[in-house]
A and B are shown apart, each in its own frame.
Chain A
Amino acid sequence: MAAGTMRSAKRDTWGLVLTVVSGIMMITGLYLAFVFAPPAVNLQTAVERFTQRIMYFHVGAAWVGFFAFFITFAAGIGYLWRRTFFWDNLANSSVEIGLTFMTMVLVTGSMWAKPTWNTWWTWSPRLTISAIGWLMYIGYLMLRSAIDNPPRRARFAAVYGIVAFMSVPINFMAIRWWRDIHPAVVASGANEGTGGFNMSPNMTTALMFCIAAFTVFYFTLLYHRMRLGQTEHEVETLRQEILYR
């Protein structure tokens, strides 16, 4: 059993490739966001025009935050179906990364909102759903940390990951009906919300590239986090074998 699971001890070519590629993409993304993309034309003050550039990372992080939640949902189904450590490792790793990005979404959003909306926080649908998503991630990690038995921890986490993710679209719909002032940046009615602006082709290019860069970055972190989880799992297996043989 021990020899067969020693995957993490192999040479890590994939990790190196992913790390280098995402590094290059993130630096390129920075260049595109700060230099390549033109300032937004219809914003009044210099501060507003400058903070608008936060969007390139804010949207990328938000995308990754919710995408990571989806991966946890899918991994939960995978775990209940196959019952292997791989799926639990995937679900847990994705939540940890998703939580980090979701925190970044909330922080960058507040930094942008202060000069633009003149408030750090408002209960708009996207803000509210991000905050609720963030709380769900926290709840997921708290649930995991409160269970000692590893298969039970994996099972309960899978169930919670599935139920919580299914509530996200309904949550979003409910909050959208409740109130909405957030700009719909990529959608057609871009100019409706407070602080909205029309995107020039170069801005769209920069945004799309940043979303792609964040996605690659997410998979890089996921890869490394899962290797770490796998190694922890192997160490624990070895420890048990030494203790109980």
Chain B
Amino acid sequence: MAKIRVVHYLNQFFAGVGGEEKAGTPPVSRDGPVGPGKAFQEVLGQRGEIVGTVFCGDNYFHEDLERTKREVLDLIAGYRPDVLVAGPAFSAGRYGLACAHVCLDAVQRLKIPAVGGQHPDNPGVGLCRSQVYIVVTGETTAGMRQAITTMAELAWKLAMRKTLGTPEVEGYLPRGVRRNVFVGEDGAERAVKMLLQKIRGELFTTELPLPTVDAVKPPLAVKDLKEAVVALVTESGIVPKGNPDHLESAQASKWIKYDIRGKADLTGEEFMSAHGGYDNRFGNEDPDRLVPLDVMRELEQEGRFKQLLNHYYVTVGNCTSVESGRQYGKEIATELLAQGVQAVVLTGT
């Protein structure tokens, strides 16, 4: 490989098209580097070439995700790249998610490596980190030059199929994938040395970090249910028929709330499941099986609790990263608290 072929993905802002007012720009491609791509090209020098740049407005990208992904991928594929670089997106959420989707498509459909650049808290990280190399950036563009240098070096190594160093050395976020490596000492000697460090109170590093799972402490029972506002929250993907807000069937990028004022139950004529992780037939036949509005209305009538919240909250919990799930949970809980909700019926599939 004489020179590697690189395609660069940007949003409308970094492509120089404009700010929020241009966020509806559909995908466009330009030959050669654009905006921060020029710095990429400098780092690559004679080793590679940004053969094309593809950019898209942040709002347009998410309006019809599947359509946009297809459009963007077609533009990228046209350049026959060896590697894709996207961003850096820093802590910009919509841009970060768009970069993550584009990178995932490059890896899964074009079978080429992809490199992103994002702040670890960017929601795009959770979406794609297991398959995409994400270079760690700051929250703002202040660290642009450093981010681009690291991303370009990584992209070159990946395109050349070079062996990578550890995530710390190469500057990317660990992908959660573990690989075998040979080290200088056998396991027994390493165990004794680690034990001596632990005995002496010195710093030691486990070779296998424990899996982290949130331990959520259940709150105390509601004191007086008769005075409580109760909400329905679900990950079962029950949405109005036709799925007008395009809730994804897997790896949902959002949660949505729907008005249920004046409704006594959810019927199969009006609602459906958008979930891609279970047999939808029973839920489509009677969506109350997943969001039990009918029973809740009866209990409300009987005065068992004060009031059912006027909206129910829904997302799809299917191949959703723990990071995304944690974020949606926090956001929904914040809204519920602001509306004085004291109890939730949370249905899962």
**Are A and B subunits of one complex?**
no
List chain A positions with a Cβ less than 8 A from chain B.
none
